[in-house]
């Protein structure tokens, strides 16, 4: 069907391959956007959950990196800000690593740090701008704009 649709649009198409998230992640190496994940190739003989004979020598392993830390492995590296973001999330105690580094939560982490610094008088002489006190008001994409002072100020002008 896809090939026929391409022909109708006069698009020169070749073979198509449908892949799932695991193999797509393997092609990319590591995904760190709204979520976090990685895949790798492992010898089947080293995978304890695969029992019996198989015709294959290796298998793609989906690491589900975002879930790392759900058993407190990351506690020594977690900050009070990470803990606050986790507690305020809809899935507290889950996707720990993902909340610490992925694009979906990084802005919220930074926002909490900014508000804390402002409350202590380190930032914003006139107090924290009211727009910044709203949850999710400091998106991860804004972080890169901080470098460009004028763009940053436009995002939070009162």
Is residue 47 pLDDT above 80, yes or no? Answer: yes
Q: How far apart (Å, rounded) are the C-alpha atoms in residues 21 and 27?
A: 10
Residue 108 near residue 81 (C-beta atoms within 8 A): no
Q: What is the pLDDT of residue 90?
A: 92
Radius of gyration of the chain (CA): 22
Q: Report d(CA 158, CA 154) in Å as an integer.
A: 9
Domains in the chain: boundaries: 1-63
Whether the model pTM is above 0.75: no
Residue 149 C-alpha from the chain's centroid: 26
pLDDT digits (tens, 9 = 90+) for 53-78: 888 999 988 888 889 999 999 999 99
pLDDT attached to residue 82: 93
- For 130-147, the pLDDT digits (tens) are 888 887 888 888 877 766
- What is the structure's pLDDT at 22? 78
What's the mean pLDDT in 114-131? 87
């Amino acid at each position: 069907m896809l090939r026929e649709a391409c022909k109708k649009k006069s698009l020169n198409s070749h073979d198509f391959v449908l892949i799932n998230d695991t193999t797509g992640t393997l092609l990319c190496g590591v995904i760190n956007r709204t979520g976090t994940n990685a895949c790798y190739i492992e010898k089947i003989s080293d995978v304890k959950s695969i029992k019996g004979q198989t015709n294959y020598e290796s298998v793609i392993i989906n690491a589900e990196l975002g879930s790392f830390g759900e058993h407190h492995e990351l506690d020594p590296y977690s900050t009070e800000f990470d803990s606050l973001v986790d507690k305020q999330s809809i899935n507290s105690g889950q996707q720990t690593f993902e909340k610490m580094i992925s694009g979906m939560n990084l802005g919220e982490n930074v926002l909490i740090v900014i508000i804390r610094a402002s409350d202590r008088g380190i930032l914003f002489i006139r107090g924290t701008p009211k727009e910044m006190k709203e949850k999710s008001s400091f998106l991860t994409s804004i972080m890169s704009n901080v470098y460009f002072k004028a763009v940053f100020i436009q995002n939070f002008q009162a």
